[in-house]
Structure 1
Amino acid sequence: MTTPRPDPASDEPWRRPDSGDGSTPDNPTDQHPAGTIGRPLGAPGPASTPAPTNTSGPASTSPPSGTAGYGGPPPTTAPPPGWRPPVHLRPAPPRRLPAQDMATLDAQEQRAQRVTWGVGAVAAAVLLILVCLLCTRALF
């Protein structure tokens, strides 16, 4: 069995619960008096928050009365001027690279280029033969 649903134009399921005093504010700014935005409905405001009474236990983690929420990070102190972390190990200076033989490098690049072109030509020839075989098989 299913429960009857309200018609699509009705927004009754999305309305806020009645506050109990019988009044419904028409102005949206009247819905949130100062200091109540972000607090659940019915939660006490900052003025009505009681101060903690038990001080015999461990340090309280609740914010002091009169302040609500995160107070920001604790203040930091800057290091003294000129302070640097201690250096325990100094790296060795970079070594000099050997001189390059440009003529030998050019010859090796030309040989590598010839090999690349040769492999490409063999691959192209194999693909051409395969295409020709497939076309002749499809025609005959």
Structure 2
Amino acid sequence: MTTPSGDRPEDDYWRRPPDDGATDDPKRPPEPGPAGADPSAGYGGPPPSTPPPPGWRPPLHVRAAPPRQLPPQDMAGLDAVEQRAQHVTWVAGAVAGVVLLALLCLLCSRAFR
């Protein structure tokens, strides 16, 4: 870690100027300011702006297109498909349960021999 000591001449550029406005370094460039303004007077504010020409904005479309209609849903068909999916899930769970029960019985019978 380095600490700023002020002994290095390359740090002079970044050092704050004295309060009287005079600079000690002849290599230091003058402070930027508005054209024709005295640099010792301080900040003169932003330059004046000109208003944009009329009609510079893009056209504004306020009304959006109406929403489209969704297709009708077959509620009876959806219920039938959902019941079939539930039966498949129950059957798969029952098969897994039977297989696990058979494995448990097999392991227990070997442990008690």
TM score, norm. by length of structure 2: 0.49
Compare the two structures and name the one with the higher helix fraction. 2
